[in-house]
Amino acid sequence: MNNKEVVDIYDENKNKTGKTKIRHKDTLEPGEYIIGIQAIIINSNKQILISQRSESKEKAPLKWECNGGALLSGENVIDGLVREIYEELGISLQKDKAIFLKTTKDNHRFKEIYLFEIDIKIDEL
């Protein structure tokens, strides 16, 4: 992870505020949100790809997850997902294969969750 990930700040209605902050460094104030992104990757056998987080991660080390991250400043959701999955797994996702699943909202974060159907050779990751 880049220690200088600049993210846009959104209000409680998911509107950009015009402010940016550095992820994992700057504190989010009440009513400030960032956009989290997650890709659920499923193959033709209906198997879901999950990966184990590094033991050096501050949050949830060694836990299993579907991959994603945070939307960087100026980035759209699909471009962010393609970037994150390539950075984390080396998989090049096709933007036109993204299927929107849902948006969640929790403590200072909206999470955009998308499905990608793709057959991957697990031994090549």
Q: Whole-prediction pTM value?
A: 0.89
DSSP-assigned beta bridge partners for residue 21: 7
Burial label, 18 (beta-carbon count in 10 A; 0-12, 13-18, 19+): exposed
State residue 1's pLDDT score. Answer: 44
pLDDT of 57 reads 85
What are the tens digits of pLDDT across the range 4-63? 899 999 999 999 999 999 998 999 999 999 999 999 999 999 999 999 988 998 888 999
pLDDT at 121: 81
Of 4, 1, 2, give the one whose Cα is nearest residue 22.
4
The pLDDT of residue 59: 84
pLDDT tens-digit readout, 66-125: 999 999 999 999 999 999 999 999 999 999 999 999 999 999 999 999 999 999 887 777
